[in-house]
Amino acid sequence: MKTYWTLSIAFSIIALSCNSPSSKIEETVSSEDSKFLHPPLVSHIFTADPSAHVFNGKIYIYPSHDIESEVKEDDMGSHFDMKDYHVFSMERPGAEVIDHGPALKLEDIPWASRQLWAPDAAHKNGKYYLYFPAKDKEDIFSIGVAVSENPTGPFLAEPNPIKGTFSMDPAVFEDEDNSYYLYFGGIWGGQLQWFEDQQLVEGRKGPTDGIPAPEEKALMPFVAKLSDNMLELAEKPLEVLLLDQNGEPIKAGDNEKRFFEAAWVHKHNGKYYFSYSTGDTHFIAYGIGDSPYGPFTYQGNILEPVQGWTNHHSIVNFEGKWYLFYHDTELSGKTPLRNIKMTELNHLPDGTIQTINPMK
């Protein structure tokens, strides 16, 4: 299955697959009449949460695969009921986007029960690793890993989740010394608020059970270095501290700055950039630090709100230029049926990132 994307403002996307979802994605979308600045990369299925990487000189995208579900919508995200992962590739920005088909299915993950949410991928020593969240048989999120000889899969899942992980939204960062770090965490449906001292607290069931008071320090994501085999944590996860411009931890009530989900790390000119979604305020925000462990000082927003409740992104360098991948709901207009997009990203001379507006 294939779909096409171009950086030109005047374009059309033509669905090339006859297996369109039953909600019927529009076969042609014209940007000339659209309020959206960037066209969908994929139109024959619904995709979200794009994690992009450059492997072997080519861009590979590892998104989640949205499907229509009869599960009732709620603040725990139960209606995001994904059941498999597809891998996409493109030779360069503006080139044909190729769907390599299902790379991992829910029924092939021994420990998982439901909800294959946003994944990420890494490459080391000729093997490719797909990191993914799923709910276990007790309906608690953990992070799993699957392995392949090919960046497009198929991936073989390990029989158990990675020990010491919890919550969701894994992101893997490879540093220049060839060390790898796993970031994870998300509140509300991501269940991060159900844990204290990395232990599940009995009795917490709702999206706000365990959320700190507005004047208290916000819940923070976690990071741990990966072991040499890429299948285990090399250390106990550590809290990633996000600071405001005064050097104080961002407060739980500062909804336009506090971490909600969708961690991502990239490195530019010796500095580490930690970016994330603010969730209910709909920004992709970021901080800058001197270590992959943080702390990271808040700088502002990378991306303004898109159409649709959620957003989840990645940032990748390809041949000297930086690109932002994200999603919105242009094709469906429905929150759980999203489509992935990309656009160029610019670091300014002072090291900050130029804010991107996805709408005209």
Pairing relationship of beta strands 58-66 and 46-55 according to DSSP bridges: antiparallel
For residue 136, the number of C-alpha atoms closer than 13 Å in the C-beta half-sphere is 17
Q: Residue 279: what are its φ and ψ, rounded to 5°?
A: 70, -105
**CA–CA separation, 214 and 67 (whole Å):** 35
Q: Which of 99, 129, 346 is nearest to 232 (CA)?
A: 129
Q: Measuring CA to CA, which residue among 200, 92, 187, 227 is closest to residue 138? A: 200
Q: How far is CA 164 from CA 187, 218, 334, in A?
A: 18, 21, 35
- Residue 94 CA to residue 9 CA, distance in Å, equals 12
Q: What b/e readout covers 95-130, taking b as 16+ CB neighbours within 10 angstroms? A: eebbbbebbbebeebeebebbbbbbbbbbeeeebbb
Give the residue numbers annotated as catalytic, written as ranges: 49, 261
| 3-class state of residue 108 by DSSP | helix
Question: 């139960």: which residue's tokens?
Answer: 78
Give the count of beta carbons closer than 10 Å to the beta carbon of residue 235.
11
